[in-house]
Amino acid sequence: MSPTAVTADHNPLRDVRDKRLPNIAGPCALVLFGVTGDLSRKKVMPAIYDLANRGLLPPGFSLVGFARRDWADQDFGQIVHDAVKEHARTPFRESTWKALAEGIRFVPGTFDDEEAFDLLAETVQQLERDRGTGGNTAFYLSIPPGFFGQVCQQLERSGLAEAEPGQWRRVVIEKPFGHDLESARELNDIVEGVFAPDSVFRIDHYLGKETVQNLLALRFANELFEPVWNSHHIDHVQITMAEDIGVAGRASYYDGIGAARDVIQNHLLQLLALTAMEEPTAFTAQHLRAEKEKVLASVRLPDDLGASTARGQYAEGWQGSEKVVGFLDEEGMKPGSTTETYAAMKVEVDTRRWAGVPFYLRTGKRLGKRVTEIAVVFKRAPHLPFNDTETEELGQNAIVIRVQPDEGITLRFGSKVPGAQMEVRDVTMDFTYGNSFTEKSPEAYERLILDVLLGAPSMFPRNEEVELSWGILDPVEEYWAANGRPEPYPSGTWGPASADEMMARDGREWRMP
């Protein structure tokens, strides 16, 4: 498809939300926990710089780092500087850096150190006086999930969670939120016991991706797709999140969590919800979340979890020309770990729109390549006025939303092969962001952090969504825990044979992205 260039200089969906909101954050500070971690260095600190570089942070914006290091402000400043130089999307500008660096502060401490949190409280008050942050403060918990509760309790004890009249305090919680439904409920009791529900921002960075937000535009801004977006026309949906990387450097986090808790419980079920949901009455947080919740509440697992799920663990193999070690040989891995690095499952959505349409979800590390996509695969035409040989190369029509890395949308349909004879073959029409827009997509974290500072919660799942998602996953995890080890698959391939067998039982096969 070569759509003519759409030249809005902003995302229309964002516009809808932002009509009532300024695009530039008001006076505030952001306190970042876990500043030495992978996510902070690669995503959060660079995103803050990019926001500053685009002029979206207020004058006096301040960034406070908290870590168990004996650092002064300038040492932390150097860490931010290095992370920005290496990972920021926008060019390095001395003037932006200087303005940002003036507001950088550091507080040393561990999460069980009350004095450190008291010092943090003093630092936040000092920033209000010195830099005019207004006392408005966001706390970003980029830390191991086991500490989310403890840090919230420390914020409460030290008075940091409590806003003075006219101020706000917000908390950003990374994922996974809990380990299962029960622990998610316990965690939520703590978090929402400290912060009001609308001050809790549970971050799922997939919702900040341009292509994921575009799914809403595709479905609800067009007339073309919605009439066929149902079980009358759709055969099945495949949602794939494949990564070529392993867990090197993150073994301690990943072991015991595994692929399903790491990304199916959140990213993939959110993608499913956006694909399957009804049109929200308005693009407000309340309406969007309500529609997603209805879908998640309607998801049903098949009775036979052995036949409708698959899990694997990567063994040594080849990633391109590089020989890579298996999961069990990654540094810091527990010997004999049964954690899965590949997970696939079939679910149904029990609604009139989706009755009988299976949704297949799969994710894995050390797969053939990095790709995330949603493939909506259509039924075959009920009648073909051609003979079999004329259509032997005709597959099923499909709309593929390419979330990453080659962002765009592909439409696959049959077309006549040029020539005297009638022969129909699959062809594709492609929309790619690069060809259609001059505007560059912001990094997901950039958009989501700005939304936190603006107080715009649409793109953050609320607790009900988190709990419904655990309710879907828990029976699968229990089944796996009681049924042996994950099946090994060589790195660089497309996962264990049992995942292909799961599809074959339904007369289908996974797409080769």
Rounded distance between C-alpha atoms, residue 314 and residue 243, angstroms: 12
Please answer whether residues 305 and 346 qualify as being in contact, where contact means their C-beta atoms are separated by less than 8 angstroms: no
Q: Is 262 annotated as a binding residue?
A: yes
Quick one: 289 or 365, whose CB is closer to ligand LXAUTJHC?
A: 365
Quick one: 180 or 500, whose CB is closer to ligand LXAUTJHC?
A: 180
262 counts as binding ligand LXAUTJHC under rule CB under 6 A: yes
Per CB under 6 A, which of residues 241..260 are in contact with ligand LXAUTJHC?
243
In the three-class reduction of DSSP (H, G, I as helix; E, B as strand; rest coil), residue 404 is classed as strand
38 counts as binding ligand NDP under rule CB under 6 A: yes
Only one of the segments 31-39, 156-164, 221-229, 279-287 lies at the binding site for ligand NDP (rule: CB under 6 A); that segment is 31-39
Helix (H) or strand (E) holding 413: strand 408-416
Quick one: 205 or 362, whose CB is closer to ligand LXAUTJHC?
A: 205
State the number of CA atoms in the 13 A half-sphere of 70 facing the CB.
0
Quick one: 245 or 417, whose CB is closer to ligand LXAUTJHC?
A: 245
Q: Is 365 annotated as a binding residue?
A: yes
Q: Which phi and psi angles does 313 have, rounded to 5°? A: -140, 130
34 counts as binding ligand NDP under rule CB under 6 A: yes
* CA torsion through residues 70, 71, 76, 82, sign: negative
Q: Buried b vs exposed e over 41-65: b needs ≥16 C-beta within 10 Å? A: bebbbbbbbbbbbbebbbebbbbbb
Binding mask 194-233 for ligand NDP (x = CB under 6 A): ----------------------------------------
Of the residues 263, 400, 456, 466, which one makes contact with ligand LXAUTJHC according to CB under 6 A: 263
Bridge partners of 319, per DSSP, are 322
The DSSP line for 192-260 is HHHS-GGGEEE--GGGGSHHHHHHHHHHHS-SSSGGG-STTTEEEEEEEEE-S---TT-HHHHTTTHHI
Of the residues 1, 3, 68, 504, which one makes contact with ligand NDP according to CB under 6 A: 68
Closest-by-Cβ residue to ligand NDP is 37
Report which DSSP code applies to 389: G
Rounded distance between C-alpha atoms, residue 265 and residue 247, angstroms: 18
Contacted by 163, from ligand LXAUTJHC, ligand NDP, none: CB < 5 to 8 Å by type: none
List 81, 232, 267, 383, catalytic entry: 267
Residue type, 319: Q
User: Nearest approach, Cβ of 238 to ligand NDP (angstroms)?
Assistant: 23
144 counts as binding ligand NDP under rule CB under 6 A: yes
Q: Is 157 annotated as a binding residue?
A: no
Q: Is 508 annotated as a binding residue?
A: no
User: Nearest approach, Cβ of 152 to ligand NDP (angstroms)?
Assistant: 14
User: Nearest approach, Cβ of 144 to ligand LXAUTJHC (angstroms)?
Assistant: 12
Q: Is 346 annotated as a binding residue?
A: no
Per CB under 6 A, which of residues 21..80 are in contact with ligand LXAUTJHC?
none
The verdict on whether 87 is a catalytic residue reads no
Rounded distance between C-alpha atoms, residue 437 and residue 439, angstroms: 5
Number of shown-chain residues binding ligand LXAUTJHC (CB under 6 A): 5
Rounded (5°) CA angle 302-256-292: 45
Quick one: 158 or 372, whose CB is closer to ligand LXAUTJHC?
A: 372
Number of shown-chain residues binding ligand NDP (CB under 6 A): 20
Closest CA relative to residue 367, chosen from 310, 312, 306, 307: 312
Quick one: 104 or 239, whose CB is closer to ligand LXAUTJHC?
A: 239
Of the residues 96, 133, 142, 441, which one makes contact with ligand NDP according to CB under 6 A: 142
The token pair that represents 425 in the structure block: 């073959």
Contacted by 326, from ligand NDP, ligand LXAUTJHC, none: CB < 5 to 8 Å by type: none
Per CB under 6 A, which of residues 369..398 are in contact with ligand LXAUTJHC?
372
For the chain, helix, strand, coil in percent to 5 are 40, 20, 40
Q: Which residue has the tokens 């499909």?
A: 398
User: Nearest approach, Cβ of 8 to ligand NDP (angstroms)?
Assistant: 29
Please answer whether residues 317 and 324 qualify as being in contact, where contact means their C-beta atoms are separated by less than 8 angstroms: yes
The residues carrying an active-site annotation are 267
Footprint on this chain of ligand LXAUTJHC (rule: CB under 6 A): 205, 243, 262-263, 372
